[in-house]
Amino acid sequence: MTTCILSGIRPTGNIHLGNYLGAIQNWVSLVNTIDEHLFCIVDQHALTTAEDAHDLYEHTRLITAAYVACGIDPNKSYIFAQSHVPAHTELAWYFNCVTPLGWLNRMTQFKDKAGKNKEQANLGLYAYPVLMAADILLYKATHVPVGDDQKQHVELARDIAGAFNNYTKADIFTLPLPVMPPQSARVMSLRDGTKKMSKSDISDYSRIHLLDDDDALALKIRKAKTDSDPIPSTSDSLIDRPEAKNLIAIYASLCGASVNDVCRDFEGQLFSTFKSALTDVLIEHLRPIRDKLTRLLADQTEMDRILARGADYANSIAAETLGDVRKSLNLYPRPMR
């Protein structure tokens, strides 16, 4: 069986270290072991929340360039915008018709995002996991690299695949597996080590933006919250020190080492010393990414080439799957003149 990865990020103006270490770096390491790789910029998902539904043109450019700058080869993998492949929303509709409301009511992300005002939440936000299932199943993806918060959605995609296969008795869809990044790749806020680094945090000092210049990187690390204890000899002793653990984990991820290795190397040192080592590694690592990102953003022809190549390929696979789906539903085939 051919293996296929599919993953995606919503196009927002803020692509940060958490997206890189927690997601894209994991994709890059999977690419070599999997036959086909599709990376989507999920612009139609961004429309479900008001804070993300603006500047989609510019933000799609930014995420496209970030995928490439962070190590996705646009000639070996396919990079495309969700809205360039209309089959996603069509397949989502067919899935809507086999997905019980009870399954969607269990989705914790909807509860978090809709908050207290559930009656005012839009239908798109509620149906979001069904569109995500369509993103994945359209390409019969076998591996879906996602963060913890999206695991439940990939499990729902498995259930929807099963429900559709069962309803049509056509066995079209493969059940995808979620692939989680290593624990150390979970990047937390620099202001509060118990919260994920996030684009929506009000403090810009909580996150590292991939376009931050060297001075901004140094300043953010200097201001990052820590404690006054020295670095312990093993990661076990970091359990009650979330901010300390986060900075050590960031260092470990950047160097491809484990948190334990880093503890061993810096045992007994204070964060004042460790922070300057972290700043050096961060600058060394992010400078080439930032340079590549800036270069690509200035090269509209290359941007269009990458997205056109991705969309052509994605549409060709999508057309095959949708053809099978329409047939399995007994829809009248469109007569050609």
Could you list the active site residues? 113, 196, 199
Residues of the chain by 3-state class (helix, strand, coil), percent to 5: 60, 10, 35
Cβ-based nearer residue to ligand TRP, 52 or 243: 52
Residue 45 CB, nearest distance to ligand TRP (Å)?
A: 5
Residue 53 CB, nearest distance to ligand TRP (Å)?
A: 14
Cβ-based nearer residue to ligand TRP, 179 or 221: 179
User: 């390929």: which residue's tokens?
Assistant: 313
CA distances to 4, 120, 263, 276 from 7, rounded to whole Å, are 10, 29, 32, 34
The answer to whether the CB of 79 falls within 8 A of the CB of 306 is yes
Residue 131 CB, nearest distance to ligand TRP (Å)?
A: 7
> What is the SS3 assignment for 32?
coil
Cβ-based nearer residue to ligand TRP, 10 or 186: 10
Cβ-based nearer residue to ligand TRP, 153 or 186: 153
Read off the tokens for 25: 């770096």
Which residue, 50, 40, 52, is CA-closest to 7?
40
CA distances to 145, 174, 281, 323 from 330, rounded to whole Å, are 34, 21, 58, 11
Residue 105 CB, nearest distance to ligand TRP (Å)?
A: 18
Residue 65 CB, nearest distance to ligand TRP (Å)?
A: 18
Q: How many other CB atoms are found less than 10 A from the CB of residue 47?
A: 18
* Cα atoms found within 13 Å of the Cα of residue 263, Cβ hemisphere only: 16
Give the angle subtended at the CA of 42 by the CAs of 131 and 78, to the nearest 5°: 110
Give the angle subtended at the CA of 70 by the CAs of 64 and 75, to the nearest 5°: 65
* Cα atoms found within 13 Å of the Cα of residue 55, Cβ hemisphere only: 11
Note the residues at the interface with ligand TRP (CB under 6 A). 6-8, 10, 42, 45, 132, 135-136, 144, 146, 150, 153
| DSSP one-letter code for 296 | H
Residue 177 CB, nearest distance to ligand TRP (Å)?
A: 12
Q: How many other CB atoms are found less than 10 A from the CB of residue 101?
A: 7
Which residue, 187, 226, 194, 191, is CA-closest to 210?
187
Instruction: With both helix axes pointing from N to C terminus, report the angle between 259-266 and 271-297 in degrees, rounded to the nearest 10.
Output: 130
Cβ-based nearer residue to ligand TRP, 8 or 181: 8
| DSSP one-letter code for 37 | E
Cβ-based nearer residue to ligand TRP, 9 or 69: 9
